[in-house]
Structure 1
């Protein structure tokens, strides 16, 4: 779902993806927003933060709030004539390179995807009975860094057992190896795993960061799940104050959502913003991810988004 907010001749764009896992559909988001459309249009936009506080009082899903918050941030930056990362006083001369996701499939298909897009960092989706063997086979075809996303498929003992083998195979960290509610297991993994662990499904909103601090090595923030750039920035600050590594991930957004994520990368340790790269057809122009992960930021203010 794409949202646009217009003011003084400038248009800001935001996005949220429907997600059956969280019970969010295009129709539910559309209904939520239409219900308060008049209030949104009458809102006096001074800052994105004030707009987000207003949205938070309206009983919207975080997904709908995200789309509106991204649009407000893009609009605000365009009105100010500066990219968001500059308004936030961050330096984009250095930033983490996005990984490229290899979904679960046969070994042949996974290898073919890697060969189709040679990349310095791959995120390998796992959750089978032969996960270590899969990584071992993939390693034969690339020297790239691997990150493993087990999608809640393992238990604590499996994770601790797999970790040394995966580390030897060039895996950098494990993302959400256990079910989101298995806090006892994650505590055990944190104490005994030789690889760092990054929370995903266990870290959805701002209030989750505190608990993750004693159960994970870092957190993966999804804008759609937490409610946009405004809460994500607070989550980054909180996580860093606790000594956690910080990653921002995507949910196969178009360049609308990816350009918003890109504004945060000077503040991150890791980033997963390959969503638009995985689409057959994109719908917008904005931040460009070039060869070997180099990010080209548009001169246009905000997140730099224009719809095609």
Structure 2
């Protein structure tokens, strides 16, 4: 990770003037802003997530993920949040820090005005979904700590109903795939990244060493609807639970055609961002994969769950490559889900938090206030 001086120089954000006193604040400083009682105080810092293995998808590969860690303080209580930025989101540490620097959360003296605060954050600039999610997560963590309750209890959920999580295996060589299968032995469901010419070979390698259920994420990698349907039918005979985003998100009619004929549920991923997309997905997909970095956080994610259930759609909660901060925040929603893919923290070697646990393959939500994480 680049040091603070080089980061500021490279980003061009530099130093911002704050207020009329001429006090200078760096845009991405690890130093805390001066705390004043009865106001929300925001601080944040860039952080690079180091992957244990190269993360290979149908359209790209990477060995790290840029991230920004956030703290929101009120009367000495700190809420933690996070913004993770895989390439396809279109956000960077520069854009996230610039967005966060533009906010004046000190104007809010009551953190329980959640709708008002998040409306302000959402209206500050278009897009910036991961940046907005970091504020949302930190605010939920703060409020839960003030109430001294975890969010699954505030929402009235039963943690024992949380599903098993899948463990993701990217596109790789046969030797590395077998190694990853061995690492995934504690998990009851394996998630496979597909979208290349050797998809069947990858499944056959996995099936040579385990018969555990699999789920497939094509990441928009299949361009032909007939071939996509043929692959889905082939997968249905090999203990596959569902297929995520088989076609490019723009191919709505083709995806609907597949859904009508598919023996497996078709789940929206890249197609789905925020609440209005749930209605758009209805009739095209059987279900949706909700990720906090796309939905702008927990508040809107909960609304998406409510709407999707009203439409009788399947539900999945997922994540990006993230620390346990954002993954544990997403886990608060897991008792509402049919499936979970909450392994982003397990894919990195430099986690900064203790939070979600996986016990016998199942998501276990910490019984701690807020989102349930502790800095380590």
TM-score (norm 2): 0.79
Choose 1 or 2 for highest CA Rg: 2
1:227 aligns with 296
Residue 293 of structure 1 corresponds to which residue in structure 2?
A: 361
Cα separation, 1, equivalents of 2:295 and 2:275: 7
- Paired residue total: 305
Q: Please give the alpha-carbon distance, in whole angstroms, between the structure 2 residues aligned to 1:162 and 1:19.
A: 27
Unaligned runs of 5+ in 2: 1-67
Please say if 1:45 is aligned against 2:88: no
Given that 1:156 and 1:189 are in contact with CA atoms closer than 8 Å, whether structure 2 keeps it comes out as yes
Specify the alignment match of 1:2 in structure 2: 69
| Shift of residue 23, structure 1, vs aligned partner | 1.9
CA–CA distance in structure 2, aligned partners of residues 82 and 256 of structure 1: 16
**Residue of structure 2 in register with 1:84 after alignment:** 151
**CA distance, structure 2, for counterparts of residue 297 and residue 224 of structure 1:** 19
CA distance in 1, matches of 2:161, 2:90: 37
CA shift, 1:53, in A, is 1.8
- CA distance in 2: counterparts of 1:124 and 1:296, whole angstroms: 23
The question of whether the paired residues in 1 share the 8 Å contact of 2:163 and 2:363 is answered with: no
With a CA cutoff of 8 Å and minimum separation of 6, indicate the structure with the bigger relative contact order. Answer: 1
Q: Give 1:9 shift.
A: 2.1
SS at match of 2:168: strand
- The alignment partner of 2:159 has SS state of coil
2:204 to 136, 158, 168: 136
- 1:59-138, aligned counterparts within 5 Å? 59=125, 61-118=128-185, 119-138=187-206
Question: How many Å apart are 1:51 and its aligned residue?
Answer: 2.1
1:69-115 Cα offsets, whole Å, 9 max, x none, are 00000000000000001011111122111100001001221111011
Aligned counterparts of 2:315 and 2:365: Cα–Cα separation in 1: 21
Query: Does residue 1:57 correspond to 2:123, yes or no?
Result: yes
Q: Alpha-carbon deviation of 1:8?
A: 2.3
> 1:50 Cα shift?
3.1
Shift in Å, 1:156: 1.2
How many Å apart are 1:287 and its aligned residue? Answer: 2.2
Match of 2:102 in 1: 35
Report the counterpart of residue 176 of structure 1 in structure 2. 245
Higher strand share: 2
Q: 1:21 pairs with 63, 88, 94, which one?
A: 88
SS in 1 for 2:176: helix
Match in the other structure for 1:284? 353
* Correspondence list, 1:180-219, <5 A: 180-219=249-288
Distance 1:144 1:120 in 2: 6
What is the CA deviation profile of residues 165-190 of structure 1, one whole-angstrom value per residue up to 9, with x for unaligned ones?
Answer: 11111111000010010001101101
Rounded to whole Å, the distance in 1 between the matches of 2:240 and 2:184 is: 19
* Structure (1/2) with the larger helix percentage: 1
The answer as to whether partners of 1:51 and 1:69 remain within 8 angstroms in 2 is: no
Q: Distance in 2 between matches of 1:83 and 1:47?
A: 18
**Whole-angstrom distance in 2 between the partners of 1:97 and 1:48:** 31
Q: Which residue of 2 aligns with 1:166?
A: 235
Unpaired segments ≥5 residues, structure 1: none
- CA shift for structure 1 position 144: 1.1
